[in-house]
Amino acid sequence: MSDLQLEQMTEADLVSIVPLELQSHQHPWTRRHFIDSLKAGHWAYCVRQVDAAHSALAEIHAYCILLPGVDELHLLNITVAPHLRKKGIARRMMQAIENLALQYRLPRILLEVRPSNTAAFALYQSLNFKEIARRKNYYPLRENPNQREDACVMEKVLQ
């Protein structure tokens, strides 16, 4: 696979991002959620192949939305295209996110993850994120929207 490049997300990218979001999540963000995040100044990035980055039609492989705080960087959304999973893209994105946090002197990264999302949970653990709390009944379940799943709050303190 060619090298990947992290680029700032634009509203034009949502044409590709929203369908990926729908394919990837039990309760996906809407186009409005992404627009609101962009307008609020959240850090929003997408990943494309470097050799295709000059084309406005370059395929988006992944994306993330980050909320910078006073002393932390909160990962709000990270998604890899379903057909490109298990190729190390999420790990490389997480490393890029950590580099951003270090660059802006944000000493920790926070995120929430469904306990049932075992692949993501294992990735975060392998990157030295630790579970620090549970948010009870945080995520609605696709099968039964009246039932909810906890969220594992995970943290990585940066050196």
Reported as a single tens digit per residue, the pLDDT across 84-118 is 999 999 999 999 999 999 999 999 999 999 998 99
Domains of the chain: 4-157 (3.40.630.30)
* Neighbour order of strands in the sheet with 73-80: 4-8, 43-49, 60-68, 73-80, 108-113, 148-157, 130-140
pLDDT at 51: 61
Poorest-pLDDT segment among 23-32, 38-47, 104-113 = 23-32
Q: Looking at beta carbons, which pairs linking 17-23 to residues 24 or more positions away fall under 8 Å?
A: 17/46, 17/60, 17/63, 20/60, 20/63, 20/79, 20/81, 20/82, 21/77, 21/79, 23/81, 23/82
How far is 50 from 6, CA to CA, in rounded Å? 9
